[in-house]
Amino acid sequence: MNKKKRIAFQTLGCKLNFSETSAISRQFSNGMYKQVPYDEPADIYVINSCTVTKKADKRCRALIRQAKSTNPACRIIVMGCYPQAGASDLMSLPGVSHLLDNTQKFRLLDYIEGMEKAVVDKTNMAEPGTGIPRFVPAYSLGGRTRSFFKIQDGCDYNCSYCSIPLVRGHSRSDTIAATVKTARKIAETDIKEVVLTGVNIGDFGKPHGESFFDLLKELIKIDGLLRIRLSSVEPDLLHDDIIRLVAAEPKLMPHFHIPLQSGSDAILRSMGRRYDTALFTSRVQAIRKHIPHACIAADLIVGYPEETDELFKESLRFISKTDVSYMHVFNYSEREHTRAIKSQHRVDPSERRRRSKMMQQLSAEKKNLFTEANRGLKTTVLWEKERQGHLLFGFTENYIKIKTSFDTRKVNAIQAVQLISTDKNGVYTV
């Protein structure tokens, strides 16, 4: 009997990448491979990469070195966004046998089974922004309580700082009928919650004359899908009908993630964003009107090339007075092939870090206020699959993390709770 090849997967970046890695790794359930953790010896290491920041690129290179150190004779395959944007960075790294861009990664099994022992295939990358294929659906299984369900890919927005349209291509999605068919497969598993993911999910359906709102109306009809959570939706695509549907439908979690990027209209214009702070404010106010206890997260970039100290303070003031629950804060990172990299203005990296700390402090304050404002709320929690010592953690409908004593019967179960008492760190305990 042939010995099974040991293969290890590692994912960097967004929920979309996690959904794709899970779908791709299921191709290797044919009895010929044994999947092992990435820090164990393996014959083949696969990294599904991210290139949204320099830090993500650096992390990918570190994982390549780690794999080579763990097993010097291994083959290393890097797939996804980093090869699409920076193949030249990866070509010279020892141990890398294949680079698969976003046009090729779903054929990973074919590439592996076609490898010759001495072949190094690193030069067949598509140019950034070219060769992006049709939409390929994906969803994650196994590793988490919830499933990341890819419903959309690519982006047509072409913001000045962002390389994602170059590496992911134009906005595309399947039809509602096809997407519902995939969702039914998830509903047949023990998954209790799906997170709708993509690059720009609010753009769903555009190629087919359909809409994200119409998709949501169909997904809530599926038996077995108990919780549906939205990932990031652009402010200009988060229409009132979507907000009202979330307010009315118990299956749709009261949790919104809205990219803001800056609280300065001047910076938003320079970035090429399709809204201003007034529109963002109107979306937050509409959510609070219909769902007062909703969680509203926002993305922010600090240290953008045009961001003077005064414009940063303007952004800080805007966030301070806006009723968001917390923020994901990112330091601006120069990306090749973007407009922003050509700017003559630069914010020193140390200043970017200073601004980031200020925004993160504000975020922490807002999160504490949001958590406290929900004291007394009656809601439900989905308990995680993984125990942490003697504790079990879970998330409420509006994404407040809570804990309880470990009980096997609660794992991956939904339980009605009331938020009453918190520990010293502000985590609710039931």
| Domains of the chain by start residue, with CATH | 5-113 (3.40.50.2300), 138-373 (3.80.30.20), 378-429 (no CATH)
| CA triple 22-9-66, angle to 5 deg | 155
Give the per-residue pLDDT at 132: 56
The position carrying tokens 């990306």 is: 335
Please give the Cα distance from 421 to 126 (Å, whole number). Answer: 54
> Of the given ranges (115-129, 155-169, 209-223, 346-360), which has the lowest mean pLDDT?
115-129
DSSP annotation of 261 reads: E
Q: Encoding tokens for residue 311?
A: 């414009």
DSSP annotation of 341 reads: G
> Of the given ranges (10-24, 116-130, 239-253), which has the lowest mean pLDDT?
116-130
Q: What is the pTM of this model?
A: 0.91
> Percent of the chain having pLDDT more than 90?
79
Give the per-residue pLDDT at 97: 87
Please give the Cα distance from 198 to 234 (Å, whole number). Answer: 12
| 3-class state of residue 216 by DSSP | helix
Give the per-residue pLDDT at 11: 96
CA distance readout (Å), 148 to 15, 91, 271: 6, 31, 29
- What element of type H or E holds 70? helix 54-70
Give the per-residue pLDDT at 123: 45
- Enumerate residues 6+ apart whose C-beta is below 8 A from 118: none
First to last CA, the chain: 52
DSSP annotation of 287 reads: H
Q: Which one has a higher pLDDT value, 128 or 89?
A: 89
CA distance readout (Å), 242 to 215, 412, 421: 10, 28, 33
Give the per-residue pLDDT at 143: 67
CA distance readout (Å), 261 to 300, 315, 337, 347: 4, 9, 20, 16
Summarize the confidence of residues 287-296 as an average pLDDT.
98
HSE-up (13 A, CA, CB side) for residue 165: 14
Size of the chain, expressed as the number of residues it contains = 430
- Please, which pLDDT band fits residue 88 given cuts at 50, 70 and 90? confident
- Please, which pLDDT band fits residue 94 given cuts at 50, 70 and 90? confident
pLDDT in tens, 138-155: 999 976 789 999 999 999
Burial class (CB in 10 A: 0-12, 13-18, 19+), 90: buried
Return the axis-axis angle of helices 212-219 and 240-248, rounded to nearest 10°: 10
Q: Encoding tokens for residue 266?
A: 């001047």
- Enumerate residues 6+ apart whose C-beta is below 8 A from 13: 48, 49, 50, 52, 56, 80, 81
Summarize the confidence of residues 302-309 as an average pLDDT.
96
Summarize the confidence of residues 244-268 as an average pLDDT.
98
Give the per-residue pLDDT at 117: 37
- Enumerate residues 6+ apart whose C-beta is below 8 A from 151: 137, 173, 174, 179, 196, 197, 198, 201, 204, 215
Q: Encoding tokens for residue 325?
A: 């629950």
**Beta-sheet strands, E only, within 56-167:** 75-80, 96-100, 138-139, 146-150, 152-153
Q: Which amino acid is at 391?
A: L
Please give the Cα distance from 332 to 208 (Å, whole number). Answer: 35
Is 262 a residue whose pLDDT tops 50? yes
CA distance readout (Å), 71 to 65, 95, 114, 310: 10, 10, 21, 51
Q: Which amino acid is at 84?
A: Q
> Of the given ranges (66-70, 124-128, 181-185, 335-339), which has the lowest mean pLDDT?
124-128
> Of the given ranges (72-86, 196-210, 340-354), which has the lowest mean pLDDT?
72-86
Across the chain, mean pLDDT equals: 92
Cβ atoms < 10 Å from Cβ of 307: 25
Give the per-residue pLDDT at 115: 65
How would you label 403-428 residue by residue, b for 16+ Cβ within 10 Å and e otherwise?
A: bbeeeeebebebbebebeeeeeeeeb
The position carrying tokens 């680079």 is: 99
The position carrying tokens 């890695």 is: 21
| 3-class state of residue 214 by DSSP | helix
Is 249 a residue whose pLDDT tops 50? yes
Give the per-residue pLDDT at 70: 96
Is 27 a residue whose pLDDT tops 50? yes
Please give the Cα distance from 210 to 205 (Å, whole number). Answer: 4
In terms of phi and psi (left: phi > 0; alpha: psi -120 to 50; beta: otherwise), the region of 288 is: alpha
Give the per-residue pLDDT at 91: 83
- Please, which pLDDT band fits residue 326 given cuts at 50, 70 and 90? very high
pLDDT in tens, 383-427: 997 778 899 999 999 999 999 999 999 999 999 999 999 988 889
Is 162 a residue whose pLDDT tops 80? yes
Please give the Cα distance from 419 to 305 (Å, whole number). Answer: 43
